[in-house]
Homo-oligomer: A and B are copies of this chain.
Amino acid sequence: MAPDAVLPTDSPAAAVPAPRQHIRLTSHPGQGSAGAPTIRWGAADPIERGPVVGTTTHRSQRNVIGTHSGSYGVYRALAVAAGNLERGHRADLTDTSPTDVVGPHPQWADADRIVSIDPWGATVASVYAAQIAQGYDIRPTIAVTKAHIDLPEIRQAMAFLRLRPDGRVLLDNGSAVVTKVALEPVWWLPGVARRFNVSEGELRRTLFEETGGMYPELVTRSDIEVFLPPIGGQTLYIFGDPRDLANPEVTLTARIHDECNGSDVFGSDICTCRPYLTHAIEECIQGAQQGGVGLIAYSRKEGRALGEVTKFLVYNARKRQVGGDSADKYFLRTECVAGVQDMRFQELMPDVLHWLGVKKIHRLVSMSNDKYDAITGSGIEVGERIKIPDALVPADARVEIEAKIAAGYFTDGSVPTESDLAGVKGRGLD
């Protein structure tokens, strides 16, 4: 950024053809905000906490930066522009309430324990019924439903008699019965800043500048503390009774999985993502059948949150480098292209576990030291760590898994040395 300051006093708003009405470029304290509810993040009582209002319809009600639906807010804007969606549509929330009650848990009343989810996001229609009746446009940021899921890998586990249907968790037809939860990000900026050990001002400014100027209110409205970022959220799949997640006496099997479309959907053999995910689902089903509860928390953080374009550029660089794809150069190639090895920031990840009331994960189906450190660092106990069975690691994915083990991933075997790593080779680009 250039060091000179140019505040937009001379904005050529008139350059926009045929304005329908005056455009309000950004919002300011005291400007029509009389009707915006105050948010007291971490207050135990939802009325005292106050609703999150991200409506684009009634600007005076807004108490956040950004809007609902994560990055899909851009599509909603397109729908309005195209004339498909009526400006000011209010969601009819009839019959949409959660199929299962989650919380409230004591963790919800600790402002710094949950900073990236609105704990009341699933129940706005009931806890803020009075405000909605008064005309406030309050929308759920969490939805809870039931589903049957049917995966070929689970059918295979049944064929090999590793899993047996019980009519409750796993049906005769191979379907598993789950509760599933979708969550949108709701960031309380003071708490997010503390997680990353930066000042709130520095966080706000960097979010603004490094996105090329998204949401000037990040820097002009320090009085608005909540940001609905235009990013993907999370999905939870719960096997067994969701209430058991908060009971440390019930064995919890859990995997925290970060999206990898290429493997999760298409079965790319360069990584272990889908095999590990489906193994975790098998573990969750077994655990729930034995009286425990299972949890898959799936985050939309494609390619270590670098995005898929960067990921594919790295694949090419790995496979073309002198000496070919090898485990000792695994992280280096990502760093050369992206500047970092990873942008997933497990710092915010435990929030969803605290939302569920989790105090102990008895069986963590993950080898990631970053995830383990984030979970235990947030005060959740972890028992056993379950590695991916060797038989499930695709040949071309050995480069990744060995590099990660050398870098600190959990293993019950030996940690490869530098020269071991140099000998772990992947396929070329063919």
A253 to B15, CA, bound (A): 46
The answer to whether the Cβ of A99 comes within 8 Å of any Cβ in the partner chain is yes
Given A145-B315, A180-B312 in contact, is the A222-B15 Cβ separation under 8 Å?
Answer: yes
Residue A8 contacts which of B7, B205, B343 (CB distance < 8 angstroms)? B7
The answer to whether the Cβ of A411 comes within 8 Å of any Cβ in the partner chain is no
Residue A305 contacts which of B67, B72, B307 (CB distance < 8 angstroms)? B72
22 contacting pairs across A/B (C-beta < 8 A): A5-B24, A12-B222, A16-B201, A20-B205, A70-B71, A73-B210, A76-B343, A77-B207, A79-B343, A81-B198, A143-B308, A143-B309, A145-B312, A147-B266, A147-B270, A149-B267, A150-B268, A213-B217, A230-B230, A230-B231, A265-B277, A265-B298
The answer to whether the Cβ of A206 comes within 8 Å of any Cβ in the partner chain is yes
The answer to whether the Cβ of A152 comes within 8 Å of any Cβ in the partner chain is yes
The answer to whether the Cβ of A66 comes within 8 Å of any Cβ in the partner chain is yes
Cβ–Cβ contact A207 & B28, under 8 A: no
- For A314-337 the 0/1 string (1 means CB < 8 A from B) is 111101110000000000000011
A7 to B24, CA, bound (A): 6
Cβ–Cβ contact B19 & A429, under 8 A: no
- Taking CB atoms and an 8 Å cut-off, the chain A residues in 202-220 that contact chain B are 202-217, 219-220
The answer to whether the Cβ of A183 comes within 8 Å of any Cβ in the partner chain is yes
A85 to B230, CA, bound (A): 20
Question: Which residues of B are found within 8 Å of A65, using beta-carbon distances?
Answer: 212-213
Cβ–Cβ contact B6 & A24, under 8 A: yes
The answer to whether the Cβ of A407 comes within 8 Å of any Cβ in the partner chain is no
The answer to whether the Cβ of A29 comes within 8 Å of any Cβ in the partner chain is yes
Question: Which residues of B are found within 8 Å of A321, using beta-carbon distances?
Answer: 95
- How many of A's residues come within 8 Å of B, CB to CB? 169
- In the complex, the chain B residue whose C-beta lies closest to that of A230 is B230
- For A212-241 the 0/1 string (1 means CB < 8 A from B) is 111111011111000011111101010000
Cβ–Cβ contact A211 & B66, under 8 A: yes
The answer to whether the Cβ of A262 comes within 8 Å of any Cβ in the partner chain is yes
Residue A1 contacts which of B59, B196, B212, B427 (CB distance < 8 angstroms)? B59
Given A80-B206, A213-B215, A337-B91 in contact, is the A8-B32 Cβ separation under 8 Å?
Answer: no
